[in-house]
Amino acid sequence: MTVTEGWDPDAPGVLRLPSGRLVRGRALRRPLPPGPVPTYALHLLGRQPPEVPWPAGWLRWPDFRLPADPARARELFGEAWARAADPAERVEFACGGGRGRTGTALACVAVLDGVPAGEAVDFVRRYYDRRAVETPWQRRFVHAFGGTR
C-alpha cells in the first residue's frame, strides 16, 4: 500500500496535536468513516479485536477501566505518536465507544506531544470530544502519565 497523504485535519475525529501531528480517534461500534483508512490503528479493548486490513496493535483495556499493563500502554502510545510524525501516516486510536479509552489515550499522546498533563484532558475535550475521558481514574491516569516522562 502506497500512502500519499495523511488525515484530513477537518475530518470527524481527527485531532491536531500542538506539534502539528494528526491522529484520529473513533468508535469501533460505528461504521468505518468514509475516506482513507488508517495506516496504523491502536485498538483499546478488553478482548482481542477483529482483524483489520491495515497494521494494528492491541492494548488490553477493559471498558471504563485502565490499561491492564500501563508500561505497555506507554510503549504503544509512544510508538503511535512517533508514527504520527510522518505526515503521510494515518494513526488511529479506537475503542468501543470512542470516548473513554480513546480519549484517555489521546490525552496521553497529547502529553507526549508537550501538552502539560494537567491540561491534556481539557485539550482533548476541546479539540476531539467534549465527553472524552469518562472516569476520574482515567483523568488520574493521564496526570500520572505526565509525571513519568
Query: Which amino acid is located at 32 in the chain?
Result: L
Is 113 in contact with 91 (CB distance < 8 Å)?
Answer: no
Domains along the chain with CATH numbers: 15-146 (3.90.190.10)
pLDDT at 4: 54
Q: What is the pLDDT of residue 1?
A: 39
Which residues in the chain land under pLDDT 50?
A: 1-3, 148-149
Contact of 132 with 123, CB cutoff 8 Å = no
Retrieve residue 8's grid coordinates.
484530513
pLDDT at position 3, please? 44
pLDDT in tens, 20-59: 999 999 999 999 999 999 999 999 999 999 899 999 999 9
